[in-house]
Amino acid sequence: MTEIRSRILRHAGGKSFDLAGPPRFARSMQISRVRPRGDEAAVHAVHSIQVAARDADRPEMPVATLAHTAAWVAAGTTSEPHIVWLAADDAGRPAGFALLDLPYTDNRHVALLDLVVRPDARRQGIGRALLGHAVEYARAAGRTLLVGEAVEDSAGAGFAKVAGAECKALERCSYQTLDDVDPASIAAMRAEAERAATGYELVRWIDVAPPEYLPDLAELNNEMRDAPVDDLQIEDEIWDVERVRIFDQAVMARGRRSYFLAARHVESGRLAGYSQLTVDGTDWANQGNTVVMRAHRGHRLGLWLKAAMVEWVRVAEPDVRRVLTWNAKSNQHMLAVNDRLGYVAYEFVGEWELPLT
């Protein structure tokens, strides 16, 4: 069992993309490269664009906090700095941004792009200009593939198609409303799974894993290579102890608290699976990775972990009302598990590739 929030952690939304007629170009436009760290004005500008796009395109979805945006702009989920461009319209207002992430541990042929334009500044050539900067930089860095995300049938998807990109994978975005989930039903699912998990015990921690678990977590993350990626031209990620440490620190730097539940094989003392859930002080939580080692599958460990996580978050984070998660549309097994837990499909997000050669 493997559930993974996409390796490509990017998003874009929007209403229907009107392709009729040529785009209106702003009378003048300023695009500047901004420092990813320490530029408070740029961070506020990026955050204001994120909020405006969310309010117009996906009002039901959570929006990043300012602290999360600041840390995300600086380094995302790695220690490498992002490359960020900020566009201003002819009135000098922040109009859009492009954020480029160049993986250095693996997938060195890929550049990951997040491009968002303020709703009232769209169809003026701002997105195309930002894309041009990103493409030029990625090519100069030796990257041959640009990858980004856009909600299915959205403005972002229309923009990607016009730019020559192809949708290579679809993920289902789902959420679980905790007030609508019967505690007795979750308890029954946990008990059902626990009966099949003889020889295992649950262990848990917050934020930073005990040192003795780090090698097992790295191995479990490497196990996620069997998570569906459909037709995406990406390589398996390679995890070691240091990468686990960096990832945990990056999540904390983004103002998020992580809850970890792991199933430990009693006889060997090794972790056989784990699940991660993060909160950021809002009433939303994000269900992250859930993975079980191949050698330990068939014991309902995934369902056990996820049901127990629902019970834990209800007690530890009483203000959380909804839990958001993503799964490949082709991952029918995990989608069925989530449906049992009360997740409801909200939208489908496409992962788009643009060749740079």
Out of 105-119, 180-194, 215-229, least confident range: 215-229
Q: Are residues 28 and 163 in the same domain?
A: yes
Whether 357 is in a domain gets the answer no
145-151 and 110-117 beta bridge pairing = parallel
**Is 353 within the bounds of a domain?**
no
Residue 193 lies in a domain: yes
Q: Answer yes or no: do 183 and 152 share one domain.
A: no
Residue 355 lies in a domain: no
Whether 356 maps to a domain, the answer reads no
Residue numbers of the domain that contains 90: 2-171
Give the mean model confidence (pLDDT) for residues 251-271: 94
In this structure, are 124 and 249 located in the same domain?
no
Rounded CA separation 38/214 (Å): 31
* Domain of residue 10, CATH code: 3.40.630.30
Within this chain, do residues 148 and 269 fall inside the same structural domain, yes or no? no
Dump the DSSP string for 91-123.
TS-EEEEEEEE--SSS-TTEEEEEEEE-GGGTT
* Res 263: pLDDT: 98
User: 95-129: buried (b, 16+ CB within 10 Å) or exposed (e) per residue?
Assistant: bbbbbbbbbeeebeebbbbbbbbbbebbbbbbbeb
pLDDT confidence of residue 144: 95
Question: What dihedral angle (degrees, nearest 10) is formed by the CA atoms of 215, 216, 219, 220?
Answer: -150
Name the band, by pLDDT with cuts 50, 70 and 90, for residue 107.
Answer: confident
Look at the chain and report how many structural domains it folds into. Answer: 2
Boundary of a domain, candidates 156, 171, 186: 171
Q: Are residues 267 and 298 in the same domain?
A: yes
Answer yes or no: is 354 within a domain: no
Residue 71 lies in a domain: yes
Span 282-329, pLDDT tens digits: 999 999 999 999 999 999 999 999 999 999 999 999 999 999 999 988
The answer to whether residues 260 and 121 belong to one domain is: no
Distances (CA, A) of 112 to 7, 101, 138, 152, 282: 10, 5, 9, 18, 27
Residue 293: per-residue pLDDT? 95
Q: Encode burial over 162-179: b for 16+ CB neighbours within 10 A, e otherwise.
A: ebebebbbebbbbbbebe
Residue the block writes with tokens 């506020």: 44
> Within this chain, do residues 155 and 216 fall inside the same structural domain, yes or no?
no
- The pLDDT tens digits of the residues spanning 124-174 come to 999 999 999 999 999 999 999 999 999 999 989 999 999 999 999 999 999
Decide if 146 is inside a domain. yes
Q: End of a domain among 116, 150, 171? A: 171
pLDDT at 26 over 60: no
Helix ranges (H only) for the chain are: 40-57, 66-75, 126-140, 155-162, 183-196, 214-223, 241-253, 301-316, 332-340
Instruction: Return phi, psi of residue 19, to 5°.
Output: -95, 0
Cβ(289)–Cβ(224) below 8 Å: yes
Task: List, for residues 274-295, the tens digit of each pLDDT value.
Answer: 999 999 989 999 999 999 999 9
Please, which residues bridge with residue 3 across strands?
A: 290
Smallest CA-to-CA distance from 259 within 178, 180, 315 is with: 315
Instruction: Examine the domain organization and report whether 155 and 229 are in the same domain.
Output: no
pLDDT in tens, 87-106: 998 888 999 999 999 988 88
Share of the chain above pLDDT 90, in %: 68
User: Per-residue pLDDT for 3 more than 90?
Assistant: no
Cα–Cα distance measured from residue 282 to residue 260, given in angstroms and rounded to the nearest whole number: 19
Average predicted confidence (pLDDT) for the chain? 88
Of the pLDDT bands very low, low, confident and very high (cuts 50, 70, 90), residue 48 is very high
Percent of the chain with pLDDT over 70: 89
Residue 239 in tokens: 């995890």
pTM: 0.85
7 and 132 together in one domain? yes
pLDDT above 60: residue 11: no
Non-local (6+) Cβ contacts of 242 within 8 A are none
Do 157 and 189 fall into the same domain? Answer: no
Domain stop point among 132, 148, 171:
171
Same domain, yes or no: 27 and 78: yes
Q: Are residues 253 and 166 in the same domain?
A: no
